Structure formats: C-alpha cells, structure tokens
Amino acid sequence: MIIEVMDDRLTSAPAPALAGLEADLAFCHPAIRSVVAVGGGRIAVRAEADEAEAESVRQGIRRVAELSIASYRFVPDSEPLWTRSAGGASDISHLASFRDRALVKLGPGQYALTGAAATLRSSIDARFQRLALACGAEPWHLPSIESTGHLLPRVGYLASHGQHVTWGVHLTPRFESLRRFASDARERAAIEPTDDHEVQAAGFILEPVVCHNVYRALAGSRLAETRLVTALGNCYRFEGCRFAPLLRQWEFSMREAVIVGEPEALREVRQRILDATLTVCEELDLGGRLEIATDPFFVSEAGSARAFQAMQSTKLELRLDLGDGAATAAASFNLHGTHFTGPMDIRGPDGRLLETACVGWGIERWMAAVVARRGPEPSAWRGLPPP
C-alpha cells in the first residue's frame, strides 16, 4: 500500500535536506519497501502494512522528517566546486540491461559479477590502485572485519552510523548447544540460531569502511613523515529498503587511499589525489560534479555533525552522471583532523597528534557510470584507455 504524510516543511527545505530525508526514511520503519516521493509538501512510501500498522508508519515518518530536516538547518547551499559534461549522453536504462546480462542476484544487496563485468571491476580498481601508487602510496591488504571493542566506541561510530552496521555472531562453543543446533539444522532445516540455541556476539562488525583498520594498525605509532596507504576492501552497509545493484549494495568494493601526517602535507596529498581522480573522469569521458557533502549520520545524531562537515568542507564528494538526471556518489575526499589519531594515539616524532584524511572510490559505482555512458555491451568499454 502507499502511505502518505503531508508536511509543509518540505516546501521550503533545501535540496540537500530533501535528499537526506529520502535516505533517512529507509531506516524509519521495517514495513517500508521504497520511498515513492519526497517534496512539494508530501512524503509517500510503499509499505507492506495493514491499516492498523499504517498509522505506526505515519508516526515514524513524521518523527524522522522532523529530525532529518532540522539536521540540515545550518547546512548552507553551495555551488559545485567542479563540473564536467561528457562527450555524449549517459542512459540509466543501460544499467538494467547490464544487470540482466552480467549480474546474478544472490540476496538483498548481494550480486555476483560474471565474465566481462568482473573484468571491468578489476580494470577500474587497477586504475585507482595505479593512481594511488603514483602518489606514493604503500599497498596494504586488510581484513573485512573490525573489532567492536577497539576504535569504534572511542570515535562514536556506532552512535552516528549504527543503521548501516552488520554485526557478527557465532554459536557458543558448548557441546550440547552445538549438538542441539546441528540436530535442528538436519531435522527441521533450521537456517539460523533461535532462542533454543546459545549465541554470542563475535566481537566484530563486517567492515563498513577500509580506513578504520589502517588506523587500528597504526595505533601507538610515532611517524616521522606523512604515511600514505592504499587498500582494496570488501565493505558492508545495510541500506534498509534502498538496495540497488552496483549503486547501493550490502557488500561492495571500495579502494581507499589513507593519509596520516601533518595538516598541511595531508591536504596537499589529498588535493593531488583529487586532481588525479578528476583526470580519470576525463580519460573515461564521464560527466559529473564535485560537491561539498556530509556523511550518512544516523538522523538523531546528525545535526551538528552535518553542519560542521558542510561548513568546514571536510567532506567532498564526486557524483558521476547516470543519465535522466540521476547521479551516483562514486568518490569521496575526507579530512578527519585528530578524530582518529587521538583515540589511536598516532603522533609525530615531537609527540604532537597527527591528522588523517582518506579518499574512497566505490568501484561498482564507477562501473555503473561507465556502463550508463558507454552501454551494456562489453565491446563498448573494452576500448577504454588502459589504467
């Protein structure tokens, strides 16, 4: 059913607030299956709910709308810092054809990339790995899990981004409990533990970003010079009702360049990587724009954080054109100050806290932009300039 809520605040809310509200609504109520409309004084969602539950959905929408719009109160509108028009038009319908030919859906937000799609993914990652190495990065390989008792509570990540987190659990290593679950799996086709089985938290989450494990690995370090690390990671973010192939997956590929050093040197390296990324847009003939942005903070925690990021320009985002007015955030360029080095005690040789920055490239989103621009046939993008 379609559930509507009228809200006059939407008529005067700036575009970033409306876009942020649409994202926040994905975590408003478990009955919501999609967001149909946000704007013009109206919010409409598609939900699996009876009339009794529909009122609960409406109440949730009103509360989320109030908090979400308020969180953008001090976020100023700003013009793009850079724009580029491609030599030809992008067509978002190419993504559906590409999905049908080259992707296999395995579950919510989970896709297998087959044949040429896997080759395209590797080629795009190789391009950004080479870019990072050319800027002096050291290659690392990192785990896809992160301890919950180390960095996360010290930087408040679970309070600010808990809606995206996927926790790990395991069966308690007690023989009778394990035997009971094995019996239920065999005789009743049980597929997950229930209250009849002993389960405990594994003490980790599936990694939502690559950079956290770099900061954990450098904990207690005394660095004499700027450190630049690059790694490709499998990242995991729960997206509620917003999953979409290539554009918003539960598991996706992200290459990051992580910088640790003095503020001036840090910004110089970030700018060098940013300029090189914009050159990649030219090489691939992709349209897009560079914007001041904010992170997807949990709405009740978002107000001051969104305002700080926007006013200080600590997060820049490259949005690539997909056609028909659609775009995808394919790269971000972030300054963290001492947010991570303080809790992890990462300092220079004189004992002063260093600062960090990171650049992230969403590999599947770059794939989407290439396919939208070139078409779903592999012959159309096999001729791209080599990385």
Q: What is the mean pLDDT of residues 55-69?
A: 89
Task: Tell me: do 223 and 256 sit in the same domain.
Answer: yes
Nearest to residue 158, comparing CAs of 149, 145, 171, 170? 149
Q: What is the mean pLDDT of residues 225-252?
A: 96
Residue 151 lies in a domain: no
Residue 136 lies in a domain: yes
Residue 148's alpha-carbon distances to 121, 205, 208, 240, 313, in angstroms, are 30, 7, 12, 22, 29
**pLDDT score, position 14:** 78
Final residue belonging to a domain, choices 156, 181, 204? 204
Question: Is it the case that residue 297 has pLDDT exceeding 70?
Answer: no
Q: What is the mean pLDDT of residues 323-337?
A: 95
Phi-psi region of 308 (alpha: psi -120 to 50; beta: other; left: phi over 0): alpha
Residue 130 confidence class, pLDDT cut points 50, 70, 90: very high
Task: Tell me: do 218 and 254 sit in the same domain.
Answer: yes
Task: Tell me: do 102 and 52 sit in the same domain.
Answer: no
Asked whether the beta carbons of 117 and 102 are under 8 A apart, the reply is yes
Residue 262 lies in a domain: yes
Task: Tell me: do 134 and 269 sit in the same domain.
Answer: yes
Task: Tell me: do 314 and 351 sit in the same domain.
Answer: yes
Residue 297 lies in a domain: yes
Residue 236 lies in a domain: yes
Least confident piece of the model among 77-81, 287-291, 328-332, 341-345: 77-81
**pLDDT score, position 270:** 96
Q: What is the mean pLDDT of residues 190-218?
A: 92
How many domains is the chain partitioned into structurally? 3
**pLDDT score, position 307:** 47
Task: Tell me: do 137 and 30 sit in the same domain.
Answer: no
- Please report, as a single letter, which amino acid is at residue 205: I
**pLDDT score, position 322:** 98
Question: Is it the case that residue 6 has pLDDT exceeding 50?
Answer: yes
Task: Tell me: do 228 and 196 sit in the same domain.
Answer: no
Residue 260 lies in a domain: yes
Q: What is the mean pLDDT of residues 285-301?
A: 77
Task: Report the CATH number at residue 258.
Answer: 3.30.930.10
**pLDDT score, position 167:** 94
**pLDDT score, position 355:** 97
* pLDDT tens-place string over residues 302-320: 444 554 444 455 899 999 9
Task: Tell me: do 198 and 217 sit in the same domain.
Answer: no
**pLDDT score, position 260:** 98
Task: Tell me: do 337 and 270 sit in the same domain.
Answer: yes
Task: Tell me: do 114 and 176 sit in the same domain.
Answer: no
Mean pLDDT across the chain: 90
Final residue belonging to a domain, choices 183, 204, 225? 204
Q: State which residues form the domain around 372.
A: 82-146+208-381
Task: Tell me: do 19 and 112 sit in the same domain.
Answer: no
Question: What is the C-alpha to C-alpha distance for residues 280 and 271, in angstroms, rounded to an integer?
Answer: 14
**pLDDT score, position 75:** 63
**pLDDT score, position 380:** 86
Q: Quick one: 225 exposed, middle or buried, by C-beta within 10 A (0-12, 13-18, 19+)?
A: exposed
Question: Is it the case that residue 342 has pLDDT exceeding 70?
Answer: yes
- Please report, as a single letter, which amino acid is at residue 227: R
Residue 371 lies in a domain: yes
**pLDDT score, position 311:** 45
Q: What is the mean pLDDT of residues 355-375?
A: 97
Task: Tell me: do 11 and 29 sit in the same domain.
Answer: yes
Of 331 and 309, which is predicted with more confidence?
331
pTM summary value: 0.91
Residue 299 lies in a domain: yes
